[in-house]
Amino acid sequence: MRLLALSDTYIPAAFMADGLAPLRDAGIDVHVRHWDHPSLIALQEDNLRIETGGPDAVRLPDDITRDADTFDIIVAQFAPVGGGLIRAATKLKLIGVLRGGSENVDVALATQRGVCVMNTPGRNARAVAECAMGMILGEIRNIARAHADMRSGKWHRSFPNSTAIPELYGKTVGLVGLGAVGRLMAGYLAAFGSRVVAYDPHFAGDSGAVEMVSLDQLLRQSDVVSIHARLTKDSRHMIAAGELALMKPTAVLVNTARSGLVDEQALADALRRRQIMGAAIDVFDEEPLSADHPFMHLDNVTITPHLAGSTIDSFRNSPRMMAEHIRNLLAGRPDVPIINGIRPHFFKD
């Protein structure tokens, strides 16, 4: 079997080759080709085009997709695996996505053609959870604002939340989504002594010390709301003007998941009117953020350039995790993250 691995600026060819190397022992011939970009920003721009326009919104260079008909497996992180590539790869049986989502893959066409699609759930969960904790602390304790002031020669100790700067101990933190990231967050917050509530209509199992509540209950009760849900057509703008109106005026909203989960303009308006105390945002409808975006001119929001999941560990581990999933598939194990219900015939028991 032949595997085509599409590396990128975040997961370079060396990381991809090293992580997938164990598959050679399973008789899989691994070929790594690099989807080149001049900068991380350029890659993020292509990724945003794909997320908003679908996997055929960006075309891969011919030197990457040459002899596609000779490969049984394609593995990619951000590189688009659209209709053209899937149709050209006539031997294709498996697409492995090195991320939790599959926005860069034409899953419907793959399913129609009997191609298995696997993702890598939790591959950067720890990176995102740790960043989300930093965003919470950065916003409620004014860390970024104080740093910026001091760098500009100002010794400020007065901020929009100066009358109500909280500690996390004893406060209620609401997690919108209790997947891999949300569960890590629950553990971190427990160490801080927070009360943790969560809303996740898809969660099944034991939530432990986390109290499962409705979204309205979560918004009304929480001192901090941290979003960790997946973006779907049903969850788009799940936090909009009506939901923001339910939050405490001293509450903070944190989003390190997907921008589409929050109505960006409604949030900017709520922050401008001091309807909520503050926000910390890592993801945006348009990236990079334009100079005239409202978030750029508000004094009660902490913003970062879509970096929550970007750690050296998550990028190194993603191909290793996929290699393990493929080995488990070869061994006929049932516990593999197939997202379209298709198990290739040559991977069956």
Catalytic machinery residues: 258, 287, 306
Cα–Cα distances in Å, from 184 out to 1, 232, 314, 315, 321? 37, 22, 15, 19, 18
For residues 128 and 116, is the Cβ–Cβ distance under 8 A?
no
Nearest to 94 by CA among 109, 78, 76, 74: 74
- Please compute, for residue 105, the number of CA atoms within 13 A of its CA located in the half-sphere on the CB side: 25
Strands 73-76 and 2-7: parallel
Q: Is 9 helix (H, G, I), strand (E, B) or coil?
A: coil
What one-character-per-residue DSSP string does 304-347 give? --S-TT--HHHHHHHHHHHHHHHHHHHTT-S-S-BSSS---GGG
Backbone torsions φ then ψ of 116, nearest 5 degrees: -70, 140
CA distance 104 to 108: 12
Residue 187: both structure tokens together: 């553990």
Q: Is 18 exposed, middle or buried (0-12, 13-18, 19+ CB in 10 A)?
A: middle
Residue 198: both structure tokens together: 């969560």
Q: Which helix (H) or strand (E) holds 130?
A: helix 125-140
CA distance 249 to 243: 13
